[in-house]
Structure 1
Amino acid sequence: MMAQHARCRICTSNDEDALVDHIAGAIWESRRHGSLDDQPWSAVHPYWRTIMREMAETAIAAARRLQA
């Protein structure tokens, strides 16, 4: 069971796009090192940006279902 926090960013975000981008960037940064596309999130190819954003949207939706 997840611990309850007073200010969960996923739960309290007013800017869904910024939240998705933040999570997508964190996913990318955790996996990019040593890959052929070893670029910082700010310079990532649009293909990878789309893939990581889709993964972030899925992760956010899953986290929200845990809270329900």
Structure 2
Amino acid sequence: MACRLCTTNNREALVERVAEKMWDSRMGEFEVATPWDQAGATWQSKFREMAVVAVMALER
């Protein structure tokens, strides 16, 4: 299986996927998990910002 980071031709989709997985990783701390699509614009924006930085760090 090829590395998604290395083979992506859709950076926006990659960032969205990383943001969603980061969000999901935090939901284990709560009794009732909120799905990514219901996280709200503010939280989604913040997690996308973190995902951009994470992707940049892995590229370098």
Bin the TM-score by the shorter chain. Answer: 0.7 to 0.9
Unaligned runs of 5+ in 2: none
1:27 aligns with 2:33: no
The residue that corresponds to 1:54 in the other structure is 49
Give, in angstroms, the shift of residue 20 of structure 1.
0.4
Q: Could you tell me the TM-score, scaled by structure 1's length?
A: 0.77
Aligned length in residues? 59
The residue that corresponds to 2:7 in the other structure is 12
Deviations 1:17-68 (A, max 9, x none): 11000000000000023178x4101111100000000110000000000xxx
Larger Rg: 1
Q: CA 1:64 to 1:22, structure 2 compared with 1: closer, same or farther past 3 Å? A: same
Unaligned runs of 5+ in 1: 1-5
Higher helix residue share: 2
Q: Could you tell me the TM-score, scaled by structure 2's length?
A: 0.87
Question: C-alpha root-mean-square deviation of aligned residues, in Å?
Answer: 1.8
